[in-house]
């Protein structure tokens, strides 16, 4: 395997990390979003990934139109289709969307491809943060791994109005000590080793 191919595979397997940051910046606390799973019934079963993408886009359009009619902003949404690791073998789409307070019936009413849509408030794990949710939404590509040739394989996607994490890069002395700011929740605090030495890594949630 070439270096470029190995790096691409490594990035693919770690895509949950990018998803974790995207979820965190768009849904900063428990209750700020809704986690859903929309299932296609046998009469609307899509033929392939492109059909899933098109039908979910139509669903998102109906949600946006319903929210606009109610005087609400367009929904921010992150989603990931799944079929290959599903026990039922049925296409379904996991998604997270921001909450307007009236979303449950609005979302179910916009889903015309099946009767099953599971919805629950977004809950932030007090110890692991967004990692379990990000790993769950992106689990199928890592489980199957043959992401280039297997039909239905996917990553995750998000609407254009989703916020992007802002990166702040600074240079520090070699003896600089990373510390979690006071009042924040520590999610990760460890030292990683590699071919060129060791480096510390911390993750935390800022309490508001």
Q: Is 3-158 a domain of CATH 3.10.580.10?
A: no
Identify which of 34, 117, 110 has the alpha carbon closest to the alpha carbon of residue 77.
Answer: 34
pLDDT computed for residue 149 by the predictor: 42
Give the Cβ contact number of residue 54 at 10 Å. Answer: 11
- CA 131 centroid distance within chain: 10
Residue spans of the domains in the chain: they are: 3-158, 168-208
pLDDT of residue 76: 95
Whole-angstrom distance, CA of residue 163 vs CA of residue 165: 7
Q: Are 157 and 35 in contact (CB under 8 A)?
A: no
pLDDT at 25: 92
| Averaged pLDDT in 10-residue chunks for the chain of 208 residues | 55 74 90 94 87 94 94 93 66 91 90 94 86 84 50 71 83 78 72 68 66
């Amino acid at each position: 395997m070439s270096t470029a191919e190995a790096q691409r595979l490594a990035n693919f397997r770690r895509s949950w990390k990018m998803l974790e940051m995207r979820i965190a910046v768009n849904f900063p606390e428990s209750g700020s979003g809704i986690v859903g799973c929309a299932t296609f019934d046998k009469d609307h079963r899509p033929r392939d990934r492109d059909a899933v993408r098109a039908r979910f886009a139509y669903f998102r359009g109906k949600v946006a139109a319903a929210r606009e009619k109610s005087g609400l902003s367009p929904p921010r949404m992150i989603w990931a289709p799944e079929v290959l690791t599903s026990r039922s073998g049925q296409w379904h789409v996991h998604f997270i969307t921001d909450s307007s307070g009236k979303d449950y019936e609005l979302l179910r009413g916009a889903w015309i491809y099946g009767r099953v849509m599971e919805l629950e408030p977004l809950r932030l794990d007090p110890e692991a943060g967004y990692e379990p949710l990000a790993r769950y939404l992106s689990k199928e590509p890592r489980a199957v791994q043959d992401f280039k040739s297997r039909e239905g394989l996917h990553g995750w996607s998000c609407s254009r109005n989703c916020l992007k994490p802002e990166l702040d890069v600074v240079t520090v002395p070699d003896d600089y000590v990373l510390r979690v700011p006071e009042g924040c929740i520590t999610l990760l605090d460890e030292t990683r080793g590699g071919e060129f030495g060791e480096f510390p890594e911390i993750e935390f949630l800022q309490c508001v």
